[in-house]
Homo-oligomer: A and B are copies of this chain.
Amino acid sequence: MSIPSQEQLKRAITIVGPLVHQTPILTSSSINRMAEAQLYFKCENFQKMGAFKMRGAVHAIHNLSEAQKKAGVVTHSSGNFGQAVALAARNLGVQAYVVMPKNAPKVKKEGVKSYGAKIIECESNLAARESTSATIEAEKGATFLHPSNNLDVILGNATAAAELLQKHPDLTYILTPVGGGGLVAGTAIASHYLGSGCKTIGGEPFAADDAYRSLQSGRIETNETVNTIADGLRTHLGDINFPIIKKLVSEIIRVEEDEILHAMKLIWQRMKIVIEPSCAVPLAAVLKQPATFKDQKVGIILSGGNVDLENLPF
């Protein structure tokens, strides 16, 4: 499989731009001192519905045919993608069905509901989610949207890094967390076409290091454990994003749980912003491998800010 073209990326930027927030890019002099680097944080926690997932969802739904739009969209996601599909669908006048496990965090269920989507509850395992989604596809004729293994989603995600590179074209690196692989793949496409030798690096918890091992072995590996506070990163790579990652992501840096927590606290305390644990993984990676980033200009995609305030890891 060849990677998406620059034309495809440019089209995505044109489509997604007016449908999302151009999120701010923040810096912190104290974190820069600690990292001995210049870090530029792209704040997708300030994105509509609170995460970069809005970009992929809005792009994928926008690109559906009129007939598909009329029948609606379905996804299974206990996390941000469910909310993103709900809001993006509402904004584009499309009905959304979101399959969620019964035990999904209350804040995320409320988010999906408040955006007007229909929630279909299921058991908390992948088989139940997939079969429930398949039923909705069959019954409603709805189009299934995968959170990360969908080219339009990946190209939508790419627009965050594209905005970052437009403001800071001289970045040496851009880092993202790696979960299902849709953000790091999209970011790598943007860095490849719009950066000036800018390398894309993924940050991943040791406790869910499928992407690291997949790059080592050359084929999609799965997680044996997912005991990580970075709850957005427990998912696996897919056959659409993996070839892009293999070709365009230069490295995956793995970090320990205490390093994720430390980085998360730094961002909350020093930058005064609310981010999810998953977002802290790239900063943890920068602090773990200082020789790589010393004196470099480094972009970091802060992927989202939807945390349950009553259930924080501090």
Contact = CB atoms under 8 A, between A and B. Distances in A.
Interface in A46-93: 46, 50
Given A309-B265, A314-B310, A272 B273 contact: yes
Interface in A260-274: 265, 268-269, 271-274
Nearest to A272: B305
A272 B309 contact: no
Interface in A296-314: 305, 309-310, 312, 314
Contact of A107 (B45, B46, B50, B269): B269
B274 A268 contact: yes
Contacts of A271: 46
Contact of A274 (B43, B46, B272): B272
A193 to B, nearest CB: 30
Interface string A20-50: 0000100000000000000000010110001
Interface residues of A, number: 19
Nearest to A107: B269
Contacts of A268: 274, 309
A309 B314 contact: yes
A45 B272 contact: yes
- The residue among A45, A46, A272, A314 with the most chain B CB atoms within 10 A of its own CB is A272
Contacts of A309: 265, 268-269, 312, 314
B310 A46 contact: no
A68 B50 CA distance: 49
A269 to B, nearest CB: 7
Contacts of A43: 272
A52 to B, nearest CB: 13
A302 to B, nearest CB: 10
Contacts of A45: 272
Interface centre among A24, A269, A271, by most chain B C-beta atoms within 10 angstroms, is A269
A50 to B, nearest CB: 6
A86 to B, nearest CB: 14
24 contacts: A24-B24, A43-B272, A45-B272, A46-B271, A46-B272, A50-B272, A107-B269, A265-B309, A268-B274, A268-B309, A269-B274, A269-B309, A272-B273, A272-B274, A272-B275, A272-B305, A273-B273, A273-B274, A274-B274, A309-B312, A309-B314, A310-B314, A312-B312, A312-B314
Nearest 4 CB-CB pairings of A with B: A272-B305, A309-B314, A272-B274, A45-B272
